[in-house]
Structure 1
Amino acid sequence: VKLETVATGAFMFLSFNGAGVFKDARLRRAVALAIRREEIVNGVFFGRGAVLGGVPRSQTTPYYNAELANGQTYDPDKAKALIKEAGAEGVTVNLLSTAQYGMHRDTAVIVQGHLAEVGINVTLTMPDWSTRVTMGNRGQGDFAVQGLGLETFDPDAASSLIDPTLSPTFFRSRNFEVPGLTELLAKGRAEFDLEKRKAIYAQVDKLVIEYTPFCGLSYRATGFAHLNPVKDFHMLPDQISPFSGRLFDELSIS
């Protein structure tokens, strides 16, 4: 049997509820800077994944910018400074996840440990998955562990994950606004010129880094196994790799 893999498939991230202390962008930003993402890759996914330190953009597209893709890189000193500036030292927050799926449970535990190191106390709420979704839809919890993927490389695909002004749902931040973000997303959606779109979505990604409506954690690998006689199997790249099965009509058997 041969295993075909792509490290950057679907991904894990955090969403925030601005109804509580996370209305302050400094505290959201502090969370993003307090997490050692490689520990999630190695501890939760056994090394089969990759760090996600910003908005998920495929390196195969012209919208990828290495600096912006790593704008949420680990920086505990800056995280502590932001917490102090926000007057939130020793704050206690509730992280919503689930005990039903190991990748959600273990990600939550790692995040809890890392935030404790910078002075944020985290209590965990981890019911079964259906209860977790219901609680998320109701807006319960201060922030939440999420796991999703994208079906297209168009940069607008991430809009449903990063714009907290959209209708409330369990997988998206809520109860706060990012100044100018919704307008930029609408502008990018309507623009057809590649260079102009690149500039627009670079601004979008900068706003996400600054205001943190989305906190990237890690990609998780996509894998397809096949018998050695199966030939001509090809993996689709990055975030759309889970849909590689759509290429099965190209297979041959020797």
Structure 2
Amino acid sequence: MPLVSMTRLARVTAAAGSAVVLATALAACGSSSADSGSSTSQSLPIGLNGSVAYSFNPYDQSSLSDLEDPAYDTLIHYVDGELKPWLATSWDFKDPTTLELKLRNGVTFTDGTTFDAEAVRANFQYAIDNKANYGSLIFLQNVSGMTVVDPTTLDVTLSTPNPALPYDLSQNAGYMVSPKALQNPDGLKQAPVGTGPYVLDTAATRAGVSYSFKRNPDYWAAKENVFPYDTVTFTLQGDPNAAKNAAASGQVKALTVQPGTTIPGFTTVTSNSGNQSGFSGAWVDVTGTALKAMGDQRVRQALNYAIDRAKIAKAVYQDAAVAVPLVPVTKDSPAWSEQLGSMYPYDPDKAKQLLAEAGYPDGFELTMISLPPADQFAQAIAGQLQQVGVKVNIESHTSDLVQAVQSGTRPTGLLLSSLTGDFGQDMANLFSSTAFYNVHQADDPQLDALLKQAAQETDENARNHLYQQAAQRGADDAWFLGTVQLQTITAFDPKVVKVEPPDRGAIHLYDYHLPS
């Protein structure tokens, strides 16, 4: 069952966006010379699984990072596990809540606007004013002030420490848009205005069908040879089978595939990065607004005892998922503890006991939001809950998924939340009162205090101990159901393209290379 992080369109079409959605089929296809085995291809056709028109405003939830990468540079690049200068030449925390950014001089947006400290400030302020609170953009809500020191220096003041902010600036939060274009957001929906290596070829683009990009003739980093393709084209395909068929017929040379997929002549790489990777399960309205029962912690805990996470991970995702105890923590995380690992073993009798204690000895009925490609996952959860008396009505949505989630009228729904790899950030992205799936803005002061204390702690052992306490607190609160940590499987033809995914975050356009 393919998923795409509902990172934008609810992190739906792209975060199962933060939510469950269609799988992004990244594809790289060569020119005629590449088809004959040459590595001189200068075209990169990419197939995306979907059938909607996307916005080119990266602060809209209906945008998609795959379509942003060609036109928008990020402030920082994340390569080989390290942060590297790009539009920002350096970054330094002057104190725990003040980040100094030094910016590249001599760069202009494609509309002629100068890229400088004021442009970065305008981007951050736009995200804050428009409450762009999904993906890494949520952490811009932590910005309490900005000072333009000079044209190439910006000081960013945070309300609470966030040592992982520079990493965020290599992801969604780091895309830089022309401030002039931000003043006309309707126009920005139709065409991007950035400093990136490509510009939209409007004559060759059909919104909702295919998007074609050609080289930016004035690209400031053209000599860096980071983007070797002359053209990049994204074609929306109706379903994952269409993407696989395109690869099998030679039209597609790289794509994200579901577990168990084999394509003759293709190599696969499994990564913790990409649109399919992240923390997946079901979010719960812990306030009980949509369904009173869900406001009872014992009920939420009972539902988790009723779910065999390891069985679901194996049955639905095969080798591309790891069962986790309600928080995004695996055994290699500093937040892992044996106590955390022992929480919520599969125990239907314990589930029935807790339901009875909460006043629901005969169970109850609930509605779960899903999306057609993710229904297998939803049905697996529903089948196990049925065994303890909880009837789940699966309600599938497509283009209206964002509205359904944000309406606050359903008590639970599927999700896929991308992970930064920083435990404090990943927990805040799930448990913050402004988190996308926290539709009724619940909060947990004890958890918030632990995360804040950890961010300020300089001793690694002490910080990890706080992380462990926070992980246990989050799991005990049981805001999520049936959780697993997903990975992305990318298949590619090694004669034509080499895909080198990072260890976390997005698989960016600069991670696609000509074969060496």
| TM-score, normalisation: structure 1 | 0.81
- Structure 2 counterparts to residues 81-120 of structure 1, below 5 A: 81-100=353-372, 102-103=373-374, 105-120=375-390
SS in 2 for 1:141: coil
Change (3 A) 1:195 1:232: farther
Between 1:28-37 and 1:38-47, the stretch displaced more is 38-47
Structure 2 partner of 1:10: 278
Structure 2 partner of 1:54: 326
Distance apart, 1:42 and its partner CA: 3.2
**Alpha carbons 1:25, 1:212 under 8 Å: kept:** yes
Identify which of structures 1 and 2 has the higher relative contact order when contacts are C-alpha pairs closer than 8 Å and 6+ apart. Answer: 1
Q: Output the amino acid matched with 1:187.
A: Q
Question: 2:359, 2:348 → 1: CA distance?
Answer: 16
Question: 2:499, 2:395 → 1: CA distance?
Answer: 41
Distance apart, 1:28 and its partner CA: 0.5
Change (3 A) 1:199 1:3: same
Structure 1 partner of 2:455: 189
Structure 2 partner of 1:253: 515
- Structure 2 counterparts to residues 12-91 of structure 1, below 5 A: 12-17=280-285, 18=287, 19=289, 20-69=292-341, 71-91=343-363
1:132 corresponds to which of 370, 376, 401: 401
Q: Output the amino acid matched with 2:321.
A: G
Change (3 A) 1:226 1:139: same
Change (3 A) 1:231 1:136: closer
Question: 1:232, 1:208 → 2: CA distance?
Answer: 39
Question: 1:231, 1:15 → 2: CA distance?
Answer: 38
> For residues 199-238 of structure 1, what are the alpha-carbon distances to aligned partners after superposition, in whole Å with 9 as ceiling and x for unaligned?
111111111222212335222231222333579865433x
Structure 2 partner of 1:147: 416
Question: 1:15, 1:207 → 2: CA distance?
Answer: 16
**Alpha carbons 2:364, 2:389 under 8 Å: kept:** no
| TM-score, normalisation: structure 2 | 0.43
Change (3 A) 1:246 1:58: farther
Question: 1:143, 1:231 → 2: CA distance?
Answer: 41
**Alpha carbons 1:96, 1:144 under 8 Å: kept:** yes
4+ residue runs over 6 A deviation: none
Distance apart, 1:7 and its partner CA: 7.1
> For residues 97-119 of structure 1, what are the alpha-carbon distances to aligned partners after superposition, in whole Å with 9 as ceiling and x for unaligned?
2333x22x222111111111112
> For residues 48-107 of structure 1, what are the alpha-carbon distances to aligned partners after superposition, in whole Å with 9 as ceiling and x for unaligned?
32222231135444333354145233222211111111111223232332333x22x222
**Alpha carbons 1:55, 1:205 under 8 Å: kept:** yes
**Alpha carbons 1:33, 1:72 under 8 Å: kept:** yes
Structure 2 residues without counterparts, runs of 5 or longer: 1-265
Q: Computing the radius of gyration over CA atoms, which structure comes out larger, 1 or 2?
A: 2
Change (3 A) 1:216 1:175: same
Distance apart, 1:196 and its partner CA: 1.9
Structure 2 partner of 1:158: 427
SS in 2 for 1:53: coil
> For residues 113-165 of structure 1, what are the alpha-carbon distances to aligned partners after superposition, in whole Å with 9 as ceiling and x for unaligned?
1111112222222222x3232122121112221112113334332212124xx
Distance apart, 1:6 and its partner CA: 3.4
Sequence identity percentage: 21
Structure 2 partner of 1:167: 434
How many matched pairs? Answer: 244
Structure 1 partner of 2:50: none
> For residues 167-200 of structure 1, what are the alpha-carbon distances to aligned partners after superposition, in whole Å with 9 as ceiling and x for unaligned?
363x236465446122222222333321221111
Does residue 393 of structure 2 align to residue 123 of structure 1? yes
Change (3 A) 1:210 1:232: same
Change (3 A) 1:54 1:247: same
Q: Output the amino acid matched with 1:139.
A: G
Change (3 A) 1:179 1:64: same
Q: Output the amino acid matched with 1:16.
A: V
Change (3 A) 1:235 1:67: farther
Q: Output the amino acid matched with 1:94.
A: L
Question: 1:210, 1:154 → 2: CA distance?
Answer: 17
SS in 2 for 1:82: helix
Change (3 A) 1:179 1:78: farther
Change (3 A) 1:173 1:114: farther
Question: 1:94, 1:29 → 2: CA distance?
Answer: 16
Question: 2:353, 2:327 → 1: CA distance?
Answer: 24
Q: Output the amino acid matched with 2:405.
A: G
Structure 1 residues without counterparts, runs of 5 or longer: none
Q: Report the structure, 1 or 2, having the larger helix content.
A: 1
